[in-house]
Amino acid sequence: MNDTIAALATPAAPAALAVIRISGPESRRITELLLRKPVSWLPQKAWYRELWDGEQKLDDVVLLYWQQPRSYTGEEMVEISCHGNPLLVDRILAAYFSRGVRAALPGEFTQRAFLHGKLDLTQAEAIADLIHAGSLRSLVVAQQMQEGRLGRKLADARAELLELIAHAEAFLDFPDEDIDPEVGEEMLRRIDRLRSELAALAGTAPMGRLLREGITVVLEGPPNVGKSSLFNAILRQNRAIVSPHPGTTRDTIESLCQVAGYPVRLIDTAGRRTAEHPVEAEGVLRAEEAVRSADIVLHVSIASEPPDADVSAPIPLLPHQRLLRIANKSDLGVHPEHRYHLCVSALTREGMPELDQLLAREIAALGPDAAAGGAVNARQEAALRRAIAALDQAADAFRAGLACELWCLELRTALQEVGEITGAVTSEEILDEVFRRFCIGK
């Protein structure tokens, strides 16, 4: 960590500006080698300067200096804003690399920030979430985690575990004495309370997955009912081809959008019927595959038709999948026996705001409200589950009157697992797992 690293922090594409970051003990000295006019290096001040590589002018840039430890990484840092031409950026970076600076690895700036105690691992992971958030709700949850909300809850859990362990270890010194039943009851109550807190956090994982990966909503049903029209109406753009001929959509079509602030992967599919043409038959198979991948299935039919007009065979759903029956073309009338959750018209947009609300309610029902404690990711959930299992073992061993060493050991395992989430306890593998998801320059 004693070397100096540099990377482009903005996308490598033509833009008005690009930002290059340099972090490490040599960042100031090497920048000076590229300047003809010196700067005073007052922290958090900007200088407009020319950068030169020997006799070659690189660019007019703005330099910003961050003094250790009050920088993102906790090290000496220089930030360069230059013109956003990738060739220019490469030339500036090459000038640094030829003077001993190393190209930063993905997430290395944030990893250094973690190693210098600027943030815990949950906050580091939240920064990656913040960059990739595809919806307003994902953004809010990432911001809460970045502010340290989850980290603080886990720090409290660790403090409680340390106290419990201290209590438990006090019994170790008197192996022949029985534990006072009242003291024992209190221990069990505290273990149980901690267990429920960790379980509540682990329970936010399904919503965490949905907020990070998007909620898959699939439009399916017989041909010509208006699936593609609804797809376009939800997206508010003419993305899919619509026509009066049944069998218009052949392949599945996918688009990312937001519904009530949630990230949604909306999929339009081919109408499901016994298809003669091999291409259409393949489309029907793909439609069935899409339904199997769905979190929410919108089964579309025509409102004015009797229920038995829908001959598309129902696809068996998995227990977590939710089915909504949408009766479309309400402008043509509604058959009295038609059963549906919502009646809409893709043509007149009647019922479309209600469809948004219905989807928002269904999405919220897919998992507990993320706002409760931040929506944990898969890594965090796995560690929480291991900590919960260890707490259960500790409580069981305690109830069974087993040797104190045994349940102390389980409490220590729980402590270790909770520590892994925030990075109070780390290993190479954990850091690799966290930072490999990052982009270069962050």
Ligand X SMILES: Nc1nc2c(ncn2[C@@H]2O[C@H](COP(=O)(O)OP(=O)(O)OP(=O)(O)O)[C@@H](O)[C@H]2O)c(=O)[nH]1
Which range in 62-70, 259-267, 340-348, 361-369 contacts ligand X by CB under 6 A? 340-348
Picked from Mg ion, ligand X, none, the partner binding residue 373 (CB below 5 to 8 A depending on kind) is none
Decide: is 325 part of the binding site for ligand X (CB under 6 A).
Answer: no
> Which of helix, strand or coil describes residue 183?
helix
Query: In the complex with ligand X, which residue's Cβ is closer, 221 or 419?
Result: 221
Site string for ligand X, 26-65 (x = CB under 6 A): ----------------------------------------
Decide: is 301 part of the binding site for ligand X (CB under 6 A).
Answer: no
Provide the minimum distance between the beta carbon of 334 and ligand X in the complex, in angstroms, as a whole number. 12
**Buried (b) or exposed (e) across 38-75, using 16+ Cβ within 10 A?**
ebeeeeeeebebebebeeeebbebebbbbebeebbbbb
Query: In the complex with Mg ion, which residue's Cβ is closer, 204 or 249?
Result: 249
> Which of helix, strand or coil describes residue 52?
strand
Provide the minimum distance between the beta carbon of 328 and ligand X in the complex, in angstroms, as a whole number. 5
Decide: is 246 part of the binding site for ligand X (CB under 6 A).
Answer: yes
Which range in 130-138, 171-179, 226-234, 357-365 contacts ligand X by CB under 6 A? 226-234
Query: In the complex with Mg ion, which residue's Cβ is closer, 219 or 397?
Result: 219
Provide the minimum distance between the beta carbon of 69 and ligand X in the complex, in angstroms, as a whole number. 59
Backbone angles phi, psi at 296, to 5 degrees: -130, 130
Distance CA 374, CA 360 (A): 19
Picked from Mg ion, ligand X, none, the partner binding residue 153 (CB below 5 to 8 A depending on kind) is none
Query: In the complex with ligand X, which residue's Cβ is closer, 142 or 275?
Result: 275
Contacts of 376 (CB under 8 A, 6+ apart): 150, 201, 202, 204, 205, 208, 384
Q: What is the DSSP letter of 188?
A: H
Which range in 30-38, 222-230, 369-377, 391-399 contacts ligand X by CB under 6 A? 222-230
Contact 431, 105 (CB under 8 A): no
Using CB under 6 A, pick the residue from 68, 248, 304, 426 that binds ligand X.
248
SS (H, E, C) 314-329: CCCCCCCCEEEEEEEC
Decide: is 112 part of the binding site for ligand X (CB under 6 A).
Answer: no
Using CB under 6 A, pick the residue from 332, 372, 403, 439 that binds ligand X.
332
Distance CA 333, CA 306 (A): 11
Decide: is 346 part of the binding site for ligand X (CB under 6 A).
Answer: yes
Q: How far is CA 31 from the centre of its chain?
A: 36
Decide: is 237 part of the binding site for ligand X (CB under 6 A).
Answer: no
Distance CA 408, CA 397 (A): 9
Query: In the complex with Mg ion, which residue's Cβ is closer, 101 or 294?
Result: 294
Other beta carbons less than 10 A from residue 431's beta carbon: 17
Contacts of 49 (CB under 8 A, 6+ apart): 35, 37, 39, 60, 61, 62, 63
Which range in 101-109, 163-171, 207-215, 218-226 contacts ligand X by CB under 6 A? 218-226
Where on the chain is the footprint of ligand X (CB under 6 A)? 223-229, 242-244, 246-249, 270-271, 328-329, 331-332, 345-347
